[in-house]
Amino acid sequence: MSDPRHEGTHPVGDRPGGRHERPAAVLFDRDGTLIEDVPYNSDPRLVRVLPGVPEALRLLRAAGIPTAVVSNQSGVGRGLLTENQVRLVNARVDDALGGFGTWVYCPHHPYAGCHCRKPKPGLVIEAARRLAVPAEKCVVIGDIGADVLAAQAAGARAVLVPNAVTRPEEVTAAPCTAPDVLSAVRLLLGHGPETAPVPVAETWGWDR
């Protein structure tokens, strides 16, 4: 579980307050949320930051809210890439976006039965521990149902930012949604009703 570059890039073996309560930390999914989703990407040169993400992170840093990345990287368990390649891609994202408080990823195969792979809560709990904040005071921003389920399992809040791979069932079931990461962050910071999420079902009916 060591990372030669920075401590956070490691694998790991409505909540309190009102709608605009600022989170103690914001935890982001990586692929499809912060950067374009390149399946099993092992090449840092393929990293492309999604629109609005730099500004969203600038707002969080200006507000003094720590950030982290929580990411499933099953390509390691599938034998499609190495942990070092995951770390190199993570480092490229860190460089492009100014650095996160910690990185936590799950390298296991989906059928390995680990406790960390989203939709299980291990990544969220570990990221919160490393940031020294309560998991239930965190918000997870991601693009698929597993991100929301992981947040809920850890007692955290979640905002779903749908994209082309998000299933309709996941959007329908999400506790709240935003059209993009910047809108999601503006929502969390209470920057205006125009960024309010779409409230829908309170429970999930789909598990990827």
Helices and strands in the chain: count of H runs, count of E runs: 6, 6
Instruction: Report how far residue 17's alpha carbon sits from residue 68's, in angstroms, rounded to the nearest whole number.
Output: 22
* Catalytic residue chosen out of the listed positions 29, 94, 147, 180: 29
Which residues is 27 bridged to in the sheet?
68, 140
Has 3 been annotated as catalytic? no
31, 143, 147, 180: which one is catalytic? Answer: 31
Parallel, antiparallel or unpaired: strands 138-142 and 25-28? parallel
Number of C-alpha atoms within 13 angstroms, CB side, residue 80? 13
Sheet with 157-160, side-by-side order of all strands: 10-11, 102-106, 67-72, 25-28, 138-142, 157-160
Is residue 149 within 8 Å of 133, Cβ to Cβ? no
Both structure tokens of 82: 């190495």
Q: Left (φ > 0), alpha (ψ -120 to 50) or beta: where does 98 sit? A: left
Catalytic residues: 29, 31
